[in-house]
Structure 1
């Protein structure tokens, strides 16, 4: 018992522990949590698109669960059929309901025994990975939004007026400084399923300390612990590319495994995770190539960020930001307001490549006054957004009060102490701000 296989997704595989964890999470979020072990879930044989299944109230189904486990390219196609049950006979089985019109499924005894044999730490890890599938950007081949979270959408305004409004034609650094000052003073309440998940805080320092993913129990320390190992491996591979050292077979295997684990942690499974595709993304990332044809979406953008963290505070280098819907929403919604207050009625060629990323949930989408371009899967947007947020990083690290002291607290380190702000620390604050 190693992997769960999805034959209709080109035989994509996930760890069996992730599937059991997802089953448990689906009962917790959409049914009776206490009955997940012996409980049954409707199968729902359907080739409807994922958003249609959600709109018809089918989220508590094996069909929707399976669709969220596979990469985005397969999420609008049938993922529960005879082959799925035959290939996963020791994981899930069909059972009859009280009426003949609905067919259900439940976990097998072997699957439950396997789960019980895991440590509590392993169980917590895989339920967190499953929760991430719900909380992450849910991409599909369709342009229609998918809202799996049971809280639905909310549109809210900002809490305070920005303390700094730049002059209309001020340099980009002035807009970055204004955005940093606004976020620092704006009260922030951590939110989970659109409900408060902690006390309100302010300042970049306290916002980062309040970060969690994908649920409140997984705070900054837990997230950093798992991310650090992935960043370390990504750095080794990226430095090899930087030094023009050919990858060995071991490097190629590590590249594929590292990428898969990054996508797993973020809840954004990808197809075509080959060593060549990982190489091209890393190569484009360390060179900040806006014309790259390498893979790009919310998942590959995170790989780009992990692969360039070692470039923080290097002169004339641009560590990559993870430009997903939450980060894009935070930056663009605030930049949009600042520009309008500064006198813009259209973008007028300003920030031409900073573009939107589709995403719904929490307070997304937000209304903009200006017509921002589409930045989805765009390396031009990836690089331009990274360059702008790096201006914010420099502002956080270098702005000083009249007495010469630092204006902003240094970045908190999960194990204690502090360090200069990095683009990875800033993007976590923006990620929460863009919920």
Structure 2
């Protein structure tokens, strides 16, 4: 009974999220609550389950709120503008350097973990150069997609935070274990950018285009955006950003506290007045609060699945149909299909609906949950900007006037190759065990 009810609950959550007819917050709270009531649990019992589930996600929710606002603030004051401009100028009209610079810019821009921000920083800056140098826009979006997929392994990136919730661990602790793979991912992305640049050059791109060196980043910024820049405080803001990231790696205090302190210093130094500080917080709070609220809602689902025994019952049912010879490789199977699966299933449905089941089944065959989560996480990340159910995909395509089918046809094979390469790398460096 619990197993059937659990599967119906998960299927309902996935279907409703895929249809996009209801907020993930509503779905992740109401559906599990209804399932628990149908299973015969009382209000008081359900309350204790939810309390336990919320307790596993609250730290990551706080981390999300303050990290997104912090990086949004650093973007406002122009921390990344100078780096982007310098990279473009140095690349000049060299096609390979332009594509590699695109990878570097996208990597830096995605430090805040916000897909829309990364798209709006990278594409407007690079697309005019791509047009002047006759480089196909598909190349720009592909490099952007790869960089975003790799940088989403940061602890304030949605997939890592969601995986941490499912694993019941701190997002920063999960990220510290993923750092070697993320470093390799950045190298792979820049390598991919170089290969694409060579291919484009052979196709005739970059012929006598001197205007490329004259393009300045931020020419089209509106007056309001320019008013937020703090060029005289650039070094302070750069050092503050480096200090925040360095403290996270050092792991001497809770990650959310690091961003709390960083945000406070950034606000006080850059915007001394109360009115200006409130304006900056309000500008970035909506995105931060929606994600944090979704994570807390997921805590309700996690608590109910664990507390009712649904997860264990569902895993037992799946276990009975998985061949013994395949069971110990279940994490690798899902690692291989993670990208195409991630393209079709929304982030919340993937991490909060599918992942808990696969983790439980894998653990029954002796596969550590971390192994399974890592293989599923990497492929899903790389699928981010090639998925038709991710709004940022259409934002990026709209900025370069590119059809979704042309983008998917061009990018899928490269991104799938990147996904498999990351999976192999995770095995070779001992992050994932066979």
- TM-score between both structures, scaled by the size of structure 2: 0.30
The structure showing larger relative contact order (alpha-carbon pairs under 8 Å, at least 6 residues apart) is 2
Quick check: which one's helix share is greater? 2
Quick check: which one's strand share is greater? 1
- TM-score between both structures, scaled by the size of structure 1: 0.30
